[in-house]
């Protein structure tokens, strides 16, 4: 019996080591198969079930991950990490109320995870639209740990969502004191400054984001929009072109480039930009309407009607229909 247990443990360890090595190299399917072999050797051992759940989570297989973590919890109902990971999966799958129940259970079982769990609970409350509760959760965290940068960031995002731009900027500034090299923090600070019509300060923030991450295309586009608001169309155009040097498939950059060219009285170039954006996102009514309006202004009414009709096929909008009918009436005169 002792020899049997020794051989069993040796075989189990072999499959576990094999699975760990395969997972380390990103060979998740093969790793799962190895963990399955370990489970066949010792189905009452928690470790392979838990590691299998983590790999399913990594591959975004919600139901498989939950099943693996549930098996862990069947063997050990107080396995804190399995409860926490199950909660993370449930949240990612949109089952937010169940996710919060898991997080509450973790807090009940092991307070040492409190800060991480409270943070995740704030995130999930935000997903449920319980914004005030989420902010209260972040405030509780920050009272205990004022240097919890993610809590400042997440609180800022919720304040941004609520349109409380000044407060959002304050939260982003606190996060930047702790983590100044976050492109996303600078981007969101710039976004809120622009919404307060502080366009120069916003551009400075967007430039900081781009200095950290030159591929932060959203920062470059928002920088262009800020320049447009300041009437600096050539600078706006340069911002959009900087995006397209990195990403030729960015429909938003092509669209805003077209708008800038339109304002610069370069309709043919504007139409070419709109064409590219429509090619990339053919069912976006805003793109179709914008091109239709420009064509109508150039007295190219037949083409204008075609694009406005395409937009109305995607989404009926009374004002667009009224505009379309007015063009049709002029065309028939």
pLDDT in tens, 236-290: 999 999 999 999 999 999 999 999 999 999 999 999 999 999 999 999 999 999 9
pLDDT of residue 254: 98
pLDDT of residue 11: 83
The model's pTM:
0.82
pLDDT in tens, 168-180: 999 999 999 999 9
pLDDT of residue 281: 96
pLDDT of residue 110: 86
Taking alpha carbons only, the member of 108, 91, 89 closest to residue 100 is 91
Contact 29, 45 (CB under 8 A): no
Mean local confidence (pLDDT), 29-44: 90
Tokens 């098996």 sit on residue: 71
**Nearest-angstrom CA–CA distance, 323 and 156:** 40
Q: Is the pLDDT of residue 10 over 80?
A: no
Between 94 and 9, the more confident residue is 94
pLDDT in tens, 183-201: 999 999 999 999 999 999 9
**Nearest-angstrom CA–CA distance, 288 and 64:** 42
Contact 241, 273 (CB under 8 A): no
**Nearest-angstrom CA–CA distance, 228 and 298:** 22
- Spatial neighbors of 300 by CB under 8 A, at least 6 apart, are none
pLDDT of residue 14: 87
**Nearest-angstrom CA–CA distance, 32 and 16:** 10
Q: Is the pLDDT of residue 105 over 90?
A: yes
**Nearest-angstrom CA–CA distance, 35 and 273:** 52
Residue 272 buriedness (CB in 10 A; 0-12 / 13-18 / 19+): middle
- Spatial neighbors of 60 by CB under 8 A, at least 6 apart, are 92
3-state secondary structure of 59: coil
3-state secondary structure of 232: coil
- Looking at the chain, the whole-number percentage of residues with pLDDT higher than 90 is 81
pLDDT of residue 6: 47
Stated as kind and residue range, the H or E segment containing 325 is helix 318-332
Q: CA 128, 129, 130, 134 torsion: positive or negative?
A: positive
**Nearest-angstrom CA–CA distance, 56 and 63:** 9
Taking alpha carbons only, the member of 69, 95, 71, 63 closest to residue 84 is 69
Q: Residue 265: left (phi > 0), alpha (psi -120 to 50), or beta?
A: left
Taking alpha carbons only, the member of 232, 228, 260 closest to residue 244 is 260
Taking alpha carbons only, the member of 295, 298, 297, 299 closest to residue 308 is 295
Q: Is the pLDDT of residue 2 over 80?
A: no
Q: What is the mean pLDDT of the chain?
A: 92
pLDDT of residue 16: 84
3-state secondary structure of 277: helix
Mean local confidence (pLDDT), 77-101: 92
Mean local confidence (pLDDT), 94-106: 92
**Nearest-angstrom CA–CA distance, 127 and 94:** 9
pLDDT of residue 332: 63
**Nearest-angstrom CA–CA distance, 137 and 155:** 9
Tokens 């639209």 sit on residue: 129
pLDDT of residue 12: 84
pLDDT of residue 53: 94
Distances (CA, A) of 91 to 117, 150, 298: 13, 18, 51
pLDDT in tens, 148-160: 999 999 999 999 9
Taking alpha carbons only, the member of 300, 292, 299 closest to residue 275 is 292
Q: With cut-offs at 50, 70 and 90, classify the pLDDT of residue 4.
A: very low
Between 128 and 5, the more confident residue is 128
pLDDT of residue 74: 95
* Token representation of residue 141: 């965290």
Q: Is the pLDDT of residue 1 over 60?
A: no
pLDDT in tens, 279-324: 999 999 999 999 999 999 999 999 999 999 999 999 999 999 999 9
Contact 281, 310 (CB under 8 A): no
Q: With cut-offs at 50, 70 and 90, classify the pLDDT of residue 181.
A: very high
pLDDT of residue 8: 56
């Amino acid at each position: 019996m002792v020899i049997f247990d020794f051989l069993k443990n040796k075989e189990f360890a072999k499959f576990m080591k094999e699975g760990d090595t395969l997972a380390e190299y990103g060979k998740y399917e093969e790793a799962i198969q190895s963990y399955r072999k370990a489970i066949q050797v010792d189905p009452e051992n928690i470790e392979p079930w838990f590691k299998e759940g983590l790999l399913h989570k990594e591959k975004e297989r919600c139901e498989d991950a939950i099943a693996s973590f549930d098996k862990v919890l069947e063997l050990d109902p107080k396995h804190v990490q399995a409860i926490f990971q199950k909660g993370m999966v449930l949240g990612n799958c949109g089952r937010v109320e169940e996710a919060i129940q898991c997080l509450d259970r973790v807090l009940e079982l092991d307070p040492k995870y409190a800060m991480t769990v409270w943070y995740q609970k704030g995130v999930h409350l935000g997903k449920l639209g319980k914004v005030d509760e989420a902010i209260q959760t972040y405030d509780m965290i920050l009272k205990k740990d004022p240097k919890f940068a993610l809590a400042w960031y997440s609180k800022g995002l919720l304040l941004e969502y609520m349109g409380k731009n000044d407060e959002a900027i304050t939260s982003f500034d606190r996060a930047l004191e702790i983590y100044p090299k976050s492109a996303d923090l600078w981007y969101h600070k710039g976004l809120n400054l622009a919404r307060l019509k502080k366009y120069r300060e916003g551009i400075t923030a967007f430039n900081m984001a781009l200095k950290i991450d030159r591929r932060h295309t959203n920062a470059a586009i928002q920088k262009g929009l800020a320049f447009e608001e300041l009437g600096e169309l050539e600078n706006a155009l340069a911002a959009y072109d900087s995006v397209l040097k990195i990403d030729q498939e960015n429909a938003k950059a092509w669209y805003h480039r077209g708008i800038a060219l339109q304002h610069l009285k370069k309709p043919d170039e504007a139409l070419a930009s709109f064409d590219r954006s429509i090619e990339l996102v053919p069912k976006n009514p805003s793109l179709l309407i914008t091109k239709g309006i420009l064509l109508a202004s150039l007295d190219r009414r037949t083409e204008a009607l075609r694009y406005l009709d395409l937009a109305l096929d995607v989404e009926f909008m009374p004002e667009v229909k009224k505009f379309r009918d007015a063009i049709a009436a002029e065309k028939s005169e």
